[in-house]
Structure formats: structure tokens, C-alpha cells
Amino acid sequence: MEKQNFLAVDIGNSWYKALASDNGIFSEYQLPNAIALFDGEFYEKPYDDEDIILEENLIVEVKSPAVIDKREIFYIGKGAARQRDVSLTGFNNQKVDEDRTYLLLFGLAAYHASLQFPEETDINYSIDQLAVSLPTTQYKERKSRLRDKLAGTHTVIFHKVPGVPEPKELTVKLEIKEIIVGAEGACAYLGLTRDQETLEIKNEELVKESQKGIIIGDLGGDSVDFVGIKNNRPVASVEGEPFGINQFLDNIIQRVSKKELFRFDSRAELEEKLAAGQSEWYVEPFAGVRKDISKYIIPQLKSMAIKYLEHFDRVRSSSTEIKGAVRYIAVGGAAKLARKQIQEAAVRWSERGRPIELMFPEDMEKLNVQGLMILAKMNQLKKVQGNHVISTKG
């Protein structure tokens, strides 16, 4: 498998997290889920190409059967987050039907390809296995459609590329050979229990506990996905909920804007501040003026933590297949940001006689994408072994 190219992408409502493996060499990316229309009239030309970082200035045109309007040019990711007309995800959005999913995913894959061939401006790049995820609420009904839309060949044209002669364009033709779709939460379990390189079980204790039952609560931007694991396999009867951190981030952004006259460019900018810790929870609306915004942040995180535990309690009470689960695991970037508030809320649940003792694993915000990479490799291994059986029989 060392000669194959694998790409795993966690299509989050806040961030796209990606892991790529080219001939066994790993690369890792994180892109805000943000797009904005590009208008050449308002493009600020840099004094020097060296002032431009490509990752923060991704301007893409995507030619693909998956995208309805193939003429528009967009900022994606960090560049989009700085634009006035930035488009962020809407509540309970349907990822499979939205152009933004493909603009961001193909743009991210093409950006990775451009880094593999830095001297070329016309690149052909093949992905042997692409693994992507959907929330459990969308997984059952939409995974085949997502697979169909991602399959085949797609062209990404990067505009205004620093270091490239006029017209400063770079073209990447992506060929996606096979696609596997995983359910958020279930992929996190794979990331928790399997080794990313050998694919062997690395956490025997957790696999053993799964005989009695495990519940994973994956808290993301716009969905919280619960997956029950029994005997080392996902239990299909547990469904996710349209609930996540984005509505609480929007509340914080609105209040800081109204009360402190400071405008965040995007949810991603606020999330980065939250991740940096409480010592960074301030804004500077004017030069030399520093405003503490923890009074807007903490109540929102507390409110989200209470709701998260309410969902957890409802799921563990309603599912007959995982009744008596011995381990509850919190995963996802939002759960990491509100870990302290979730733990405080859990104490109150214990005092009320309904304890929810959550485990917060290491790299909890990356477990889904790690699981997707494992899924991609397992799919390739299955394919190779299948071909071997056919050739042996032949």
C-alpha cells in the first residue's frame, strides 16, 4: 500500500480536517468551512509575491459534474473568512447537496497536490482511496449520492498563485478512483482503537469494553452524532441530532459585536481564540483598547455543555441495544473547547443521581479524520486481497 495515494477528509461544519498519505508520507491540513465569491475588482494586489501565503489565499474555479455553477470563482478557507461576503454553513445543512462541499473538498485536495509538485503548473493527481464522513443523520440516506458525486475526474484552477508567471494560474486535474463514506462518531472509534500505519488493534481494553457497550458522542459544528458500539461494531439504531457549537459561536459573535463594537471575520477566528485558552479571550476594537470577552463566552459554553449532556442522557436511555454501556466517550472539536464546562455539568448530573462520566481521549478533535484514513487503507487492503483471490482462482 505504500505506493498508493490516500486522502481522508472530515467534512466538518466548522473546519475541514484532512490527512493525506502519498507513498507512505503523511500530510495534515485544516481549512475553515468558509467560501466567498471572488471579485477581481476588489482584489488587493500584493507588493511582492513573497508577501502571499498560498494556503491563506486559495482562489479556485472548479470544473466538475458535482458543481452546478462551473463559471464562478471563489475564495475558500482562510482567504474566504476575511471577506465581507463570507458564507458559513447554515443550521442543519445537507452537505451532499451543497456546492460548497465540493468547492472546499476538491480545492483542499488540489492544494495538497500542488505541494507535491511545486515546480509544475499543470498537474495530474490520482487519489486511490478517498475517505469522507457524513453525520449519522445524513449517512444512511445520502452516502451513495455523495459517493457518486465525488467519483471521476474534477479540475481545479487556482488563480492569483504567488510565484507563478502571468496569468498566475495553476491547474490540477484530480482523478478519484475509489470512495468510501464513513459515519462521524463511528470513524472516531476506529481512530481510537486501530493503529494508523499497521491497521492492527492498538487499544485492546476499549475493544474488550465494547462487548458490554460504548457510546461515543461526537460534538461538532452543527450536529452531535451518537454512535453505540457493541462487540467492536457500530450499532445502527443510534441517531444524531441537529445541534452543535455554531449556534453558540454565533451568539458570542453577535454580542461582542453589539456590546464591544468588535467584528470577528468568521466563526473560525473565534474558535482559534477559544482553543488558545482563557488568557486570549479578549478583543481590541480600537488601538490600545483591550476588552475581556470571557463574560460572553463562558455562559454560551455552559449552555452548550448542559444540552450536550441532555442529548447524551436521552440516547443512553432510549437505545435498547446499548443499554448498560460501560463507557461514554466525548469526541469532536467542540467537546474539546467546552471540556471544562462539560465536566462541571457532569458533576451536577451526578448530584441528581444520573451520573454521566465522560472519557476525553487524546486528540479528540482529530479522531474522525484518523479513523477515515484507517478506513481508506482497509478499503484498499480489501481490494488488493480481493484481486489476489480472483487471480489465484483464475
Q: pLDDT tens across 322-354, in order?
A: 778 889 999 999 999 999 999 999 998 899 888
Helix (H, G, I), strand (E, B) or coil at 85: coil
CA distance linking residue 221 with residue 244, whole number of Å: 5
Helices (H), the chain: 78-81, 99-116, 136-150, 186-193, 204-209, 246-260, 267-276, 294-318, 333-337, 339-351, 367-393
Nearest to 219 by CA among 296, 291, 309: 309
CA distance linking residue 316 with residue 228, whole number of Å: 9
Which helix or strand (DSSP H or E) is residue 171 part of?
strand 170-176
* Segment 226-277, tens digit of pLDDT: 889 999 988 855 666 778 899 999 999 999 999 999 999 888 889 999 999 9
Stretch 298-303: mean pLDDT, rounded? Answer: 97
Note the pTM of the prediction, 2 decimals.
0.90
Is a pLDDT exceeding 60 seen at residue 394?
no
**What is the pLDDT at residue 189?**
94
For residue 85, name the pLDDT band (cuts at 50, 70, 90): confident
Helix (H, G, I), strand (E, B) or coil at 226: strand
Residues 229, 210 contacting (CB under 8 angstroms): yes
